[in-house]
Structure 1
Amino acid sequence: MSGTDGLIVTLPLGPDEALHWWRVDDGVITRRGQDEDVRDAAGLPSASPSERIMALVPTELTYVSWLSFPDLRPRQAEGAARIEAARRGIGGTEHNHAATRALEDGDGHVLAATIAPAALSGGLAHLQALGIDPEYVTPLGLLVAPDHEGWIEAEIGGERFLRSDRAIMPAEPKLVAAIAGEIKPLVLNDQETDAALEIGFADPPLNLRQGRFAKRRRIQTFGKREWQLIAATLALAILATLLIALVTLAKYSIGESQENARALAAARTVVPGAPDLDGAERELDRRLIASGGGASFGAATAALFQTVRSVPDVTVRRIAYAPDGTLSATLASPQAEQLNQVLVPLQANLGYVLTQAPHEGAQGETVIDITVRAP
């Protein structure tokens, strides 16, 4: 068992619904209930931000399928399966939200599930109104491991369903007779169902919160120690930049050797033992680059962070400065349009020269690697 703490709750089908919930502590279900006010009943107000929240989607709202793309890499197979699953759903791609997960079987198999966007957005909105914003939204039937020799019947959150190796459906007699015929499923008891919930909570088999439904990450703030480190780095950058300017001015001015001597003396307060102005400038530049700065560090970095702060839900995952004057960074956002709101002002309004390489993140978010150079 993973030792994960948190809450499992059913995704509401409508307002004022008494939701089923399970409280998980150290990977084990410790409490359960069915209440309208899940937060108070489950003790969620005291939960720490690190605790996991999973919402279970009724079988009737999702269609689960297994697709195969043996010639594609896992990430490519997930993308292809997402398009194919949405196309196969009722109404086509415009009326289906698809989520995928490549299976680690070496055969290119991908687990896919589709749901009507309105059903998912409505259920999430109801939960968020209760103060619950789940990281994972999972089709309920996927939590039960299949029986490769037949069918399994289980009940979770008041819903009975059937699961086979490649099918999940509500346990309605007419539907079962039409699809599975005269079957005798293996019925799970309460202890076996709880075990399935605990395993699925520790390692969710599929997350419907992908693409535009991916959970938005909160922007992390710096603590006192981080701000002190940033202040020290900026102070060094400012001092080194001023000294570089002084050295450069002394080199190319028409002043006498006395001015050169004064400039070299000032540089040696930071770079002891510098043989001459050229050596002092090279060493100062090396130190500044090592600390994350450079000749255009301040302006380019300030411009990048100013535009990022003006656009919600855009985060900076990496930032670096190269000796050739190039500032590089990795940005992430749930939607590509939000990243464009950062890049366009940098290029069109501030005149910076950009290169960009977008790709999809691990949770379905849009990630882009960029470089920023002064014109």
Structure 2
Amino acid sequence: MTTLLFLPSGDAEWRWMRVADARVEEGLGIPADDAPVIAIAPAEAVTLHWAELPMRSTAQGIAAARILAGEASASPLAELHVAVGDEGSAERPIGVVGAATMHSWLTMLASAGIDPLAIVPAPMLLPRPEQGYVRAELGGSGVVRGSSSGFADEDRLTELVTHGIAPETLDRTTLAASVARVADAPGLDLRQGPFARRKRFAIDWALVRRLVWLSVAVLSVTLAIDLVKIARYDFGADALQARADALAGQSLPRGETVTDPARQLDERLARVRGPGQGFSATTAAVFAAVRGLPGVDLTALDFQANGDVRIGVATDRESAATDLKRALEAAGFTVRAGVFQSNAGRVTGEMTVSPR
């Protein structure tokens, strides 16, 4: 029976999970038995991508994946570890994690006497949905996975990534089946390349010394570049802040002290345009709807303090009032129609247009 051992993140404790008889067993700490271990990397520490890669050779696929990871990451490629998996589909999962993070994980596991069979990102324990997103609690943290994404479940982040689509929470039976399948054959193992599991190895100290000096040189150059960028960004930020303060001083009422330009300008804009969607936006939508319907005339318009607009309407037929109501609703407003009366061949009445 394979044990899934969740790597601690921050001040979190060690946690483990096993699947026995289609049931998920969980606990704290590190199990004392000698069962084989698969380490589970925190979702927030690994960036996942999916892409179609040329796999005529493993080295070719990893090289292509590193190019994709370098284009999508802000970190230098030399500091990243890229691993390629296989889930049996045209698109292959790609895991990107800091090389230093992989070193720290393996060092931490080694200090606990563990040489894991694999290191699997937490989202890869969930089944890949054909559409939408699925969610589950793993190792004390929420994890979300989509057809081409996997990440930690965080309120604002999840809504941004899923575009407001609520992930479906997996039941325990489905989760147990998925975890058992991953324990038998992980779809993505981060232990590749320099971090692959080896039984025998010999240390080439001359090569180690050369790599150390090369790493020092690379890090020194990278640090120098970062320091120059930081200085440029700092100077640029100061200039932009000074310009924003100056513009805010010109736009705010005379004599008002500038403390938070963005907030003060937003407050003034809200006061100028009115409540709801504002007078201009609401009346523009009303005029556009009336202009697009032949035989409809606007007889009155009253902008309310709560952002509603009361309009008087006269039409040459009863159906035109319904068409106007539908046009305003299609423009993103809530419309409440009053009683319409027919008099001298004209149908007249009132409507209240409210922001949604």
- The two structures have a TM-score, normalised by structure 2, of 0.52
Structure 2 residue 27 is matched with structure 1 residue 33:
yes
**Is the partner of 1:131 in helix, strand or coil?**
coil
Give me the whole-angstrom Cα distance separating, in 2, the residues matched to 1:148 and 1:91.
31
Counting matched residue pairs gives 207
Give me the whole-angstrom Cα distance separating, in 2, the residues matched to 1:52 and 1:86.
31
Give me the whole-angstrom Cα distance separating, in 2, the residues matched to 1:185 and 1:17.
25
- Selected match of 1:189 from 171, 174, 181: 171
C-alpha deviation, 1:89, in angstroms: 2.4
Give me the whole-angstrom Cα distance separating, in 2, the residues matched to 1:154 and 1:77.
34
- The two structures have a TM-score, normalised by structure 1, of 0.50
C-alpha deviation, 1:167, in angstroms: 0.9
Percent identical residues: 24
C-alpha deviation, 1:102, in angstroms: 4.5
Query: 2:307 maps to what in 1?
Result: none
C-alpha deviation, 1:10, in angstroms: 0.7
1:151-300 alignment to 2 at 5 Å? 151-218=133-200
- Selected match of 1:101 from 85, 90, 105: 85
Contact 1:77/1:110 (<8 A) preserved: no
Contact 1:78/1:110 (<8 A) preserved: no
Query: 2:14 maps to what in 1?
Result: 19
**Is the partner of 1:65 in helix, strand or coil?**
strand
- Selected match of 2:67 from 84, 93, 100: 84
C-alpha deviation, 1:204, in angstroms: 0.8
Give me the whole-angstrom Cα distance separating, in 2, the residues matched to 1:24 and 1:179.
30
AA at the equivalent of 1:56: I
Give me the whole-angstrom Cα distance separating, in 2, the residues matched to 1:179 and 1:199.
27
Structure 1's unaligned 5+ residue stretches are: 219-310, 315-334, 339-375
Contact 1:161/1:170 (<8 A) preserved: yes
AA at the equivalent of 1:84: I
Give me the whole-angstrom Cα distance separating, in 2, the residues matched to 1:214 and 1:96.
15
C-alpha deviation, 1:115, in angstroms: 0.5
Structure 2 residue 44 is matched with structure 1 residue 60:
yes
Give me the whole-angstrom Cα distance separating, in 2, the residues matched to 1:28 and 1:184.
27
Query: 1:246 maps to what in 2?
Result: none
AA at the equivalent of 1:83: R
From the superposition, tell whether residues 24 and 175 of structure 1 become closer, same or farther in structure 2 (CA, over 3 Å).
closer
Query: 2:118 maps to what in 1?
Result: 136
Give me the whole-angstrom Cα distance separating, in 2, the residues matched to 1:32 and 1:82.
34
Contact 1:156/1:193 (<8 A) preserved: no
Contact 1:8/1:53 (<8 A) preserved: yes
Give me the whole-angstrom Cα distance separating, in 2, the residues matched to 1:24 and 1:102.
22
Contact 2:122/2:143 (<8 A) preserved: no
Contact 1:22/1:29 (<8 A) preserved: no
**Is the partner of 1:137 in helix, strand or coil?**
strand
C-alpha deviation, 1:21, in angstroms: 0.6
Which structure has the larger Rg over C-alpha atoms?
2
Give me the whole-angstrom Cα distance separating, in 2, the residues matched to 1:168 and 1:154.
12
Give me the whole-angstrom Cα distance separating, in 2, the residues matched to 1:81 and 1:52.
32
C-alpha deviation, 1:198, in angstroms: 1.2
C-alpha deviation, 1:65, in angstroms: 0.5
AA at the equivalent of 2:80: N
Moved over 3 A (4+): 27-31, 102-105
Query: 1:367 maps to what in 2?
Result: none
Query: 2:32 maps to what in 1?
Result: 43
AA at the equivalent of 2:44: E
